[in-house]
Copies of this chain bind each other. A is one copy, B any other.
Amino acid sequence: MDAPSGTPQRILDIAERLVQTCGYNGFSYADIAAELKVTKASLHYHFPGKADLGASLIERYEHHFLAALAGIDEREKDARGKLRRYAAIYGEVLRDGRMCLCGMLAAEYATLPEAMRTRLRHYFDENERWLAGVLKLGRKDGTLRSSGTPRETARTLVGSLEGAMMLARSYGDPSRYRAASARILAELGA
């Protein structure tokens, strides 16, 4: 609680935004250094290699995301409400021309170091796991309907929302995401 945000956190903040907009292969240490007003060498002290920085980015992003999902579980008990809040989180991500960090990295998957690939799949697995729980809950109390297993439906849902974000951003129009997510959720009864 001493520093509101240490240097490593500020580095991650900038790198996160850069990856969300330009991709992992689309930014450099020089970009971060310029914005943070330090030298590139300083960055290497905190994150020895770009792969370390990338892996830390995913870990922190997932950590924040899971915290947000825990927040939903605390405040929202209705399965439909949970789904709508989940979709809304990704809607907020779209601000400033950003895209979901992990959706971006998924596109660059083939060029990522293994440490990042593993963490990336873990992120999506956790999305799937949480959504499957919500879908199961909604099926039990009759508020949500889906044709396949909760697991498969969750998997499809994650992909659909990631794709909706990607296209919405290409048109510079977040409302495209909102329209798409509303339609997708409507199919499930939410």
Contact = CB atoms under 8 A, between A and B. Distances in A.
Please state the number of chain copies in the assembly. Answer: 2
B166 A180 contact: no
A176 B147 CA distance: 16
B183 A156 contact: yes
A65 to B, nearest CB: 16
A23 B111 contact: yes
A156 B180 contact: yes
B180 A155 contact: yes
A97 interface: yes
Instruction: State the majority secondary structure of interface residues on A.
Output: helix
A107 interface: yes
A79 to B, nearest CB: 18
Contacts of A168: 159
A176 B157 CA distance: 12
Interface in A96-152: 97, 99, 103-104, 106-111, 117, 120-121, 124, 147-148, 152
Contacts of A187: 147, 187
Given A148-B183, A180-B156, A187-B187, A103 B166 contact: yes
Contact of A23 (B23, B120, B186): B23
A16 interface: no
Contacts of A147: 183, 186-187
A149 to B, nearest CB: 10
Contacts of A153: 183
Nearest to A20: B110
A107 B110 contact: no
Contacts of A30: none
B162 A167 contact: yes
